Chain A
């Protein structure tokens, strides 16, 4: 038993300071991504979420360039991007692709410039790698309170707009007729999404952050039929998958004799992807309780 445990948890996993930080950050990021991700899918704004990851890339690389914390750059740029996308018209179906495409294209251009400058002019070694593919194991413990604060802000916004956001996801017409301020609710959601994407960019990289946003939420939506449970399951899958990814990455240092570890972001994303595939298996789909066909003939 002891040997099994030491085989699963390589020596030093629980005593390692970077691992502690990664466990806390990973959990916070996964919870925020899970909650925001479920609504992102329900509202059909996955593409918008992806555009915000590109905005985050530009923000994170720009922040590194001027010596600021990448996290502030990720979130700051995401918030600006969210406001711009809202102004262009993310709420209208036709405006949505347009807004997303314009912001996405402009951000990638900026990111290309900043990343190049990061690599050539500053002495921040590995900045490109950290921004694009995450830095969950190299984030300093002093960043943890900021991560927690951003998480609270994002979850706070989601709690505040929960019911009107759900109603408008069902039907904007019904929500508007009930007096829901659609514009305000839509903008607040985009802000919560920007923060979620920024946090996720810190953990697994700006390029991969969509995976943590959409993956666990998509899996949860396949397995549940009540929104409350979708949110809980998305968080559990997100946190569990992230922690499993951390463990696998830590263990992977000893998988080869050269002690070349495999990137943690790869494992986190891979676990989420496999979880999604597994949720499509017949026994998993049965969990959501499809109603027998016979009943739907009535009425």
Chain B
């Protein structure tokens, strides 16, 4: 469990994290989502005591991180893949971390096995690809078998197989009742991994809700209808209360405020031929962009928000 109260970080007159209150619950995967520069990493660094809050406080499993006598046994941290001296081998890096907590060599071998690092255990970490660096960071986070995991962009740089593996791993850890808190700027990844989302923009929380609720924020579900007889169908639908229509093509109608079966029944009763009838879910991306739209710090002015190819693209 992670609890932040009024958590604030200022650098000079720039407020990077602005009075954040949130609780990360055990037993589920909580996604921490926001555009680059929104304050995700700074928040996570404050959680584990690397950065000192300008105001407010944050506790992990009931105590400030630094007050835990065996912090690695409480909290596993991956803040970035390159928190490793490049001249040291993967095994020795993990052994050094383990030694601080009297964790044995067997556990070191275990986490290397788990993260697929065993074949490269003796290789120097400086030669690792970003993906291998992520695996090493995850291995280090798992060393103390902690109740709480804090991972900053853990899938960044992983290949598709690695992404799938991290997803399975995190879901499994949450199922065991652990607290899993991970950040990402990739909404699509969060949609697949997280149960709960904390969305931030410009250092403030813009949403803190289950994934489904965040999607719902994007707007009411709609139905897309394709028919050669757009005019008649539109006239028919317009007689119903609460329905909004929008035309996105010469033979296409987007209908909000009703369901696909209702549209189908209405069309059938009037003898209108339908070529396509599909419910349109507002996507998590839409919700994300809507929530963070005015808080994106760096944006190319030419790109319209709806056409931004954010999802799935690696940095």
Q: Do A and B bind each other?
A: no
Interfacial residues, chain B to chain A (CB-CB below 8 A):
none
The residues of A with any CB-CB pair to B shorter than 8 Å are none
